[in-house]
Amino acid sequence: MNSTLQQVSGAIGSALLVTIMTNRTKTHAADLMTSAMKHLTEKPTPAVLAELKQQVAMKAMLEGINDSFIVSVGIASIALFLAFFIKRAKQAEDPNAVKPTGQKIAEKLVEN
């Protein structure tokens, strides 16, 4: 059960981070392309436009990956903080075990 839970949790976490990366990449690509088009002084040739699209796509992908890592650092920080509040389980006592009485303890101490 534990192994299955780890596999499912890992798949969900990966899907979440890839979704964040993809959405942020699209957002950054639109912003970068708008910014790049504003700075052009003349109509670009097809070769210049293709190079610009390639540069924008690479920069947008890099920014999307960075955003995904920032989210993963936030999640890890929250998990680290919560880990300090995990309490250790106490060992279960055997109900059939005979508990030593005070007199038996005193006798054992005298023997030593």
Q: What is the domain partition of the chain in residue ranges?
A: 2-88
Residue 101 has pLDDT above 60, yes or no: no
* pLDDT confidence tier of residue 39, bands split at 50, 70 and 90: confident
Q: 75 with 33: CB under 8 angstroms?
A: no
Instruction: For 89, list phi and psi in degrees, rounded to 5.
Output: -80, 140
Amino acid making up residue 70: I
Residue 16: pLDDT over 90: yes
Q: What is the pLDDT of residue 106?
A: 65
When the pLDDT of each residue in the chain is averaged and rounded to a whole number, the result is 87
pLDDT tens digits along 45-67 = 899 899 999 999 999 999 999 99
What pLDDT score does 9 carry?
Answer: 92
| HSE-CB for 104 with a 13 A CA cutoff | 4
Per the rule left: phi > 0, alpha: psi between -120 and 50, beta: everything else, 42 is beta
54 within 8 A of 27, measured Cβ to Cβ? no
Name the amino acid, one letter, at 42.
E
pLDDT at 42: 87
Sequence-ordered list of residues with C-beta below 8 angstroms from that of 72, at least 6 positions apart, any chain: 17
Which residue is listed with tokens 């989210």?
A: 71
Spatial contact of 21 and 49, defined as CB atoms under 8 Å apart: no
pLDDT surpassing 60 at residue 29: yes
Residue predicted with more confidence, 52 or 110:
52
